[in-house]
Structure formats: structure tokens, C-alpha cells
Amino acid sequence: MKSSLRFIKPGDWAVLLLLAAATAAMAPVVFKGGAAEKAVVRRDGVVVAELPLTRAARIEVPGALGTSVIEVQPGRARVAADPGPRQYCVRQGWLSQPNAIAICAPSHLSLSIAGRASSHDSLSY
């Protein structure tokens, strides 16, 4: 049995390469889609600050125990300081993935990263 390549005529190759190139050109759409876009700070579930992840910023947020510091750099955000006793949210470090979250429970604060498609983290059909 000869190779099935003989069924591909010159024009077929052209069509194949063209469509393959088009497919490759579409691929970045997927990887851009989940990009982190802003940091959302909540106290008791209520949004108290939204910071775009495009430029650096440092804000102080009043929590239940005192003042916490949220720091934003391009593409990432962290809780830089928190008066909580165990410092879990501070030690979590930089958050950069959409839907990542650092919770400072004693302060009643949370810092989360919202991507463009923040309303779902899964889809089922």
C-alpha cells in the first residue's frame, strides 16, 4: 500500500498550510483569555477596592484587627502586611492566576485576582 500522501495534490497542500497557519494564529486567544486583569479586595465579602494589574500600587485597607497593606505590581498582587496572628495571607505571597485568592480571616479581608472570565471556573454541558 502506497502512502496516502499521494492523495494530497499541490493545491491541497496550499489549503492545508493556509488553514494550519490560521489555526496557529488563533491559538493565542486561548492563552490570553485567562489573563489576570485586576485585584479585588473584599471585607466581609463586600468589595472595598479594585486595582488594575497593569500598574504598581500600594493601598492600605482597614480590617477587623487594624490596617492591612495590599501591594500590586504589573500582573500580580499580594497582601504585603496584615495584623493577623498567623500571617497566612501574607505568607501566601504573590497571586497571579485568575481566581487565586488570599484570605486574611482574622481581618475579615480577602484579596483575589479576577480574570476576564471570572464568573465561571468550570463549565458543564
Q: Contact positions toward another protein, by CB under 8 A?
A: 4, 7-12, 15-16, 19-20, 22-23, 26-27, 29-30, 33, 117, 125
Name which of 28 and 45 has its Cβ closer to another protein: 28
Residue 48, SS3 per DSSP: strand
Name which of 10 and 85 has its Cβ closer to another protein: 10
Pull the grid cell for residue 73.
Answer: 505590581
Considering the complex, what minimum distance in angstroms separates the CB of residue 3 from another protein?
A: 10
Name which of 31 and 85 has its Cβ closer to another protein: 31
Report DSSP state, residue 55.
S
Considering the complex, what minimum distance in angstroms separates the CB of residue 70 from another protein?
A: 28
Q: Which contacts (CB < 8 Å, 24+ apart) does range 64-67 have?
A: 64/106, 64/107, 64/108, 64/109, 65/106, 65/107, 66/107
Name which of 22 and 46 has its Cβ closer to another protein: 22
In sequence order, what are the beta bridge partners of 49?
Answer: 41
Considering the complex, what minimum distance in angstroms separates the CB of residue 21 from another protein?
A: 10
**Where are any strands of DSSP class E within the chain?**
36-43, 46-52, 57-62, 67-73, 76-81, 101-104, 109-115
Considering the complex, what minimum distance in angstroms separates the CB of residue 27 from another protein?
A: 5
